[in-house]
Structure 1
Amino acid sequence: MVSVGYFLSSEEFGPRELVRQAKMAEEAGFERLWISDHFHPWLDEQGQSPFVWSVIGALSEATSLPITTAVTCPLIRIHPAIIAQAAATAAVQCEGRFVLGLGTGEALNEHVTGQPWPPPQLRLDMLAEAVQVIRELHGGKQISHRGEYYEVENARIYTLPDQPVPIYLSGFGPDATKLAAEIADGFCTVGPEAELVRKYRDAGGKGQVQGGMKVCWADSEAEGAKTAHRLWRNELLPGLLPSTLPTPNDYAAASELVTEEMVRDHFACGPDPDRHLSQVRQFADAGFDEVYVQQIGPDQDEFFAGWQSAVLPKL
């Protein structure tokens, strides 16, 4: 049985609206939360990008649901020692119901400090060292670290949860998936990729596998597809493009090739519960333990009402 959570989109909504959605998600019967960690939205049409750690503090007071960052990049924009402190505080605020989801990020968010954007394998190597730094700091002792990519001098985190913060790694290919199996407590990805789940398990991964998906509940399929195309056509960009383009304008230009018909085929659009159920069941059939659903666009109240009455009871 797959556990169904709600995916809070920091690219579309401001901090107070994200907190409101989290409350509605809990009331509707969703069991957990994902929240994205971005400096920029993917497209200007999305229109938001609040600082995730401030929002998590508010969520900890507004809901009792477990929260995972999906995902935080600890490579360039924020030093892993600072991420370690932020995650420890979040875990205390959430009374242990917090998972630090980490990944290699995108140039869109990470290049803003003026540092060069590394190639994929180098980013994976940096991520492995960043995880090492975070785990050492979560041990509660003063540490100094002289690594290939990061230095830490006489650092100790004093505000720590009772148990170490679980760390999950995201992956979209075999190398990142293998790294998750080797050094992380769990694995996360987007799309019902049974092959990635298999690779994670075959490489020795024992933790939970999380997946993210998007839908657009609307009065009609056509209306839902129109909204999804306007706000999330970037989701269909292929290959390495999503990790390399530097600005929302670049994503807008690249996604001109994505048609509304392509979006309609990719996302469950409209009010048909069976279409939404089918999308969730693809993740369950692929071996995922948890799936997080994001409603695209402003019709959040209608989405939660529809899923509460017609979708979640069948799951």
Structure 2
Amino acid sequence: MVQIGYTMMTEQAGPRELVAHVVAAERAGFDFSVTSDHYFPWLESQGHAPYAWSVLGAAAQATERIPLMTYVTCPTTRYHPAVVAQKAATMQLLSQGRFRLGLGSGENLNEHVVGGGWPAARVRLEMLEEAVEIIRSLLAGKEVSHHGVHFDVENAKLWDLPEVPPPIGVAASGDRSCELAGRLADLLIATEPEQSLITAFERHGGQGKPKVGQLPICYDTDRDAAIARAHDQFRWFGSGWSVNSEIPGPAGFTGATQFVRPGDVAESIPCGDDVEAVVEAVSPYVEAGFTEIALVQIGGDHQEPYLEWAQHKLLPALRDL
């Protein structure tokens, strides 16, 4: 049976609210949770970007059952991989084994803040591969000295290690990243229901491993209000990863999406309170072979009614998938 997850969107709520939301999501019966890791929101109207790792630490203490996961952290630019390994080990201890480390090659939106330019996609994947190898070695308890193409590590060792290292997921959107994920990761992360991603991942070693997808929805009893909110905060969603990863800030996303109409958003994001519309949107992920789907409820101020609706109507319907 496919598992249904809850997304803590750091771009649309403050840190205390995010923790309260995931506590409520656990109570509503979601199977797992994921957390974005941003320095900027995509659009100013979203209005937030707290530090995801502090939120995760608080969430680990405030919840009891629900798994936690980064979706995703870039371990190459804003964070050094040796530091990411330390953070992941600590989170696994705090959550008592409920943490998964989702990694990706990053977005200019968040990584540009440390300067140094934005590498080409090919270079970013090289950096990600090297970073994953460093992180795995540290989580295995090794003392690491590494002098690679992109990173240097001097006599690093993690002193607080969980008995079981957190599983590592890698975000993929094409053949090269699927190959990397299949070879180095414990699970696949993707944002589109493309069976080709699953096929490539499994061909390179991902057979039998979890595949996690993500889908935005906008619940509201007033469908027009839901469409307006989705357009205001999520109209960037349809641009695709290859475009979204290159834009450096909210002003750029505003310009890039200025001609997107509310109707365009409504065609790609389920809006309103029609359970069957969400089931229809989730089905392609299931058919493609995804084993887990994390839902995003658009609007930081609209989580409580969504979670009540999800508990009593949406989740029972999705269980039937």
TM range (shorter): over 0.9
Displacement of 1:162? 0.5
Amino acid at match of 2:248: P
Provide the C-alpha distance between the structure 1 equivalents of 2:196 and 2:261, rounded to a whole number of angstroms.
Answer: 27
For 1:15-34, list aligned pairs within 5 A.
15-34=15-34
Partner residue in 2 for 1:130: 131
Partner residue in 1 for 2:274: 272
For 1:107-186, list aligned pairs within 5 A.
107-186=108-187
Which digits, 9 at most, give the CA deviation of each residue in 1:126-169, with x for residues without a partner? Answer: 00000011111112232211111000111111011111221110
> What secondary structure, in the 3-state scheme, does the structure 2 residue paired with 1:118 have?
coil
* Contact kept? 1:236, 1:258, Cα under 8 Å: no
Partner residue in 1 for 2:83: 82
Partner residue in 1 for 2:198: 197
Provide the C-alpha distance between the structure 2 equivalents of 1:238 and 1:57, rounded to a whole number of angstroms.
Answer: 31
Provide the C-alpha distance between the structure 2 equivalents of 1:151 and 1:130, rounded to a whole number of angstroms.
Answer: 10
Displacement of 1:203? 2.3
- TM-score (ref. length: structure 1): 0.98
Amino acid at match of 1:278: E
Which digits, 9 at most, give the CA deviation of each residue in 1:84-128, with x for residues without a partner? Answer: 100110011111111100000111111111111100011000000
Provide the C-alpha distance between the structure 2 equivalents of 1:160 and 1:194, rounded to a whole number of angstroms.
Answer: 36
Provide the C-alpha distance between the structure 2 equivalents of 1:255 and 1:48, rounded to a whole number of angstroms.
Answer: 19
Displacement of 1:239? 5.8
Provide the C-alpha distance between the structure 2 equivalents of 1:148 and 1:274, rounded to a whole number of angstroms.
Answer: 50
Displacement of 1:174? 1.4
Which digits, 9 at most, give the CA deviation of each residue in 1:265-314, with x for residues without a partner? Answer: 11110011111121222211111111000100122111111111111112
> What secondary structure, in the 3-state scheme, does the structure 2 residue paired with 1:210 have?
strand
> What secondary structure, in the 3-state scheme, does the structure 1 residue paired with 2:235 have?
helix
In the alignment, structure 1 residue 210 sits paired with structure 2 residue 220: no
Partner residue in 2 for 1:304: 307
* Contact kept? 2:173, 2:241, Cα under 8 Å: no
* Contact kept? 2:6, 2:295, Cα under 8 Å: yes
Provide the C-alpha distance between the structure 1 equivalents of 2:316 and 2:201, rounded to a whole number of angstroms.
Answer: 30
For 1:31-70, list aligned pairs within 5 A.
31-63=31-63, 64-70=65-71
Partner residue in 2 for 1:250: 252
* Contact kept? 2:33, 2:69, Cα under 8 Å: yes
CA RMSD across the alignment: 1.1
Provide the C-alpha distance between the structure 2 equivalents of 1:38 and 1:138, rounded to a whole number of angstroms.
Answer: 24
* Contact kept? 1:111, 1:117, Cα under 8 Å: yes
Which digits, 9 at most, give the CA deviation of each residue in 1:220-270, with x for residues without a partner? Answer: 322111100000111111462201111111111101121111100111100
> What secondary structure, in the 3-state scheme, does the structure 2 residue paired with 1:178 have?
helix
Amino acid at match of 2:276: D
Runs (4+) of structure 1 exceeding 2 A deviation are none
Aligned pair count reads 315
Provide the C-alpha distance between the structure 2 equivalents of 1:197 and 1:190, rounded to a whole number of angstroms.
Answer: 12
Uncovered stretches (5+) of structure 2, i.e. residues with no partner: none
* Contact kept? 1:88, 1:160, Cα under 8 Å: yes
In the alignment, structure 1 residue 104 sits paired with structure 2 residue 78: no
Which digits, 9 at most, give the CA deviation of each residue in 1:40-81, with x for residues without a partner? Answer: 111111111111110111000111211110000011111100
Partner residue in 2 for 1:284: 286
Uncovered stretches (5+) of structure 1, i.e. residues with no partner: none
